[in-house]
Structure 1
Amino acid sequence: MLTKTERLILSNQLQILKALNLGDGDYYDEKIKILQRGYAHYYDQVLDMVSDDIPEHISDEVFLILNMFRALQLSFEEWDGQEQPEASRPAASDMLSAKPGQIYPEILEFRGFSRHWEFQHFSFASFVIDEDGQYEEFSRPEGYDSLRPMLPQYRYMLRQWSLTGRKQALSLEEVRFITSLPDADAVRLFSRQRGQNTAN
């Protein structure tokens, strides 16, 4: 239920939006009438204009993913030009390296999130990049809908990145490690190295 004060505030806000010609006037008239006349049955139609809160753990995960891709891209630019093993290029849809040890620029590209399956991640990332102006290097004219779920692959890469201490300046070997398919020996190696660094 909405109090009379809440209804009045919302009604006034909608009248302002209507006066500014931000959308269909009839659309706003309908919402204003619902509020002014107290048609509680239809309040959900008015409140649907406001999305549910995006939990902080989701926004934190989006920032982590964007920071990881920033670290990968900047680090790879520093090391680009070093010889890499010859291998056929993976399909554009592949996120992780097709062969261990091979790095392609496409693998380091942030592809967004699935608008259908990962909407809250998609929505928040779109705002952070396009509206808030952070991470402008990831701006995509076509938008941030990956058309398929990306979180399983991103989370795998985040686990790999965490084993390096979430470093911003990564070695070429660490870039390979984060973007390559699972390798138990590599995981043990980086876990041991991180433990030694922490101990020191």
Structure 2
Amino acid sequence: MKLDKKDRLILINQYKILAKLDANDATYYKELIQILENGYEIFYSLLDQWIDEEMPTEKSRFVLDILDLYRALEDLKRKTKDARLLKHFHGNFKGFDGNNESDYLGFTRFLIEIQGKFQEQKQYYYENDHLNSHCPMIHKYERMLAKVKEDEISIWQMSTEQALSILDA
């Protein structure tokens, strides 16, 4: 990261304010102030290490699409009470792998916890470690969504058999 003097001055002032407001982290802010005042470029990465890379729209859309599918599945399970759907291994949303799919998991948690969307998934939240599947799920979800598209299934009007074929994809 490159910072000119003006950027450094602005950040120094911000960190001085934060050091006064947040006594618990004052030492950390003072360290950042020293880095900026002295221009220790090698440590500039400490300034933004907590900021994630941007999540591409395609990834966000994928999460929204899979959550929509599971919303429709929850609706179907509620209506039919079909044991095959209720007991299917993939009948409940498992979430994403916290180690390998953390950006997907973080966005899913943001949608549910912060934005209050997809609240029907809250019931599985604690069952599966805050939607951490502990195994990669993206490929499974891609196959499920591909099945919906390939068979031209309307998820809001799907039959139990269609739902099972999606879950088995």
Give 3-state SS (helix, strand or coil) of 1:57's partner: helix
Q: Could you list the per-position Cα deviations for residues 158-178 of structure 1 after superposition, in whole angstroms to 9, with x for gaps in the alignment?
A: 112222344323221221221
Q: Could you list the per-position Cα deviations for residues 77-117 of structure 1 after superposition, in whole angstroms to 9, with x for gaps in the alignment?
A: 1111x5x6xxxxxxxxxxxxxxxxx3234532111111111
Structure 1 position 12, deviation (Å):
3.2
Q: Which runs of 5+ in 1 are unaligned?
A: 85-101, 183-200
Aligned to 1:121: 104
**In 2, Cα distance between equivalents of 1:44 and 1:31:** 10
**In 2, Cα distance between equivalents of 1:58 and 1:168:** 22
Q: Could you list the per-position Cα deviations for residues 121-176 of structure 1 after superposition, in whole angstroms to 9, with x for gaps in the alignment?
A: 11111111111211122231431211111111111111122223443232212212
- The answer on whether the counterparts of 2:72 and 2:156 sit within 8 Å (CA) in structure 1 is yes
Structure 1 position 11, deviation (Å):
2.8
Relative to total residues, which structure has the larger helix share, 1 or 2?
2
132, 155, 159: which one aligns with 1:171: 159
- The answer on whether the counterparts of 2:98 and 2:134 sit within 8 Å (CA) in structure 1 is yes
65, 86, 103: which one aligns with 2:85: 103
146, 150, 154: which one aligns with 2:137: 150
**In 1, Cα distance between equivalents of 2:58 and 2:43:** 32
**In 1, Cα distance between equivalents of 2:41 and 2:98:** 31
Name the TM-score, length of structure 1 as normaliser. 0.72
Letter in 1 for 2:116: G
**In 2, Cα distance between equivalents of 1:45 and 1:28:** 11
- The answer on whether the counterparts of 2:16 and 2:33 sit within 8 Å (CA) in structure 1 is yes
- The aligned length equals 162
Name the TM-score, length of structure 2 as normaliser. 0.83
Aligned to 1:89: none
18-27 or 109-118, larger mean C-alpha shift = 18-27
Going from structure 1 to structure 2, the CA distance change for 1:165 and 1:22 (only over 3 Å counts) comes to: farther
Aligned to 1:138: 121
Q: Which runs of 5+ in 2 are unaligned?
A: none
Letter in 2 for 1:175: A
Q: Structure 1 stretches (4+) deviating beyond 4 angstroms?
A: none
**In 2, Cα distance between equivalents of 1:2 and 1:114:** 35
Alignment of 1:160-199 (within 5 A): 160-162=147-149, 163-180=151-168, 182=169
- The answer on whether the counterparts of 1:34 and 1:42 sit within 8 Å (CA) in structure 2 is yes
**In 2, Cα distance between equivalents of 1:77 and 1:29:** 55
Give 3-state SS (helix, strand or coil) of 1:127's partner: helix
Q: Could you list the per-position Cα deviations for residues 35-56 of structure 1 after superposition, in whole angstroms to 9, with x for gaps in the alignment?
A: 2222111111212121111111
Structure 1 position 6, deviation (Å):
2.1
Aligned to 1:34: 35
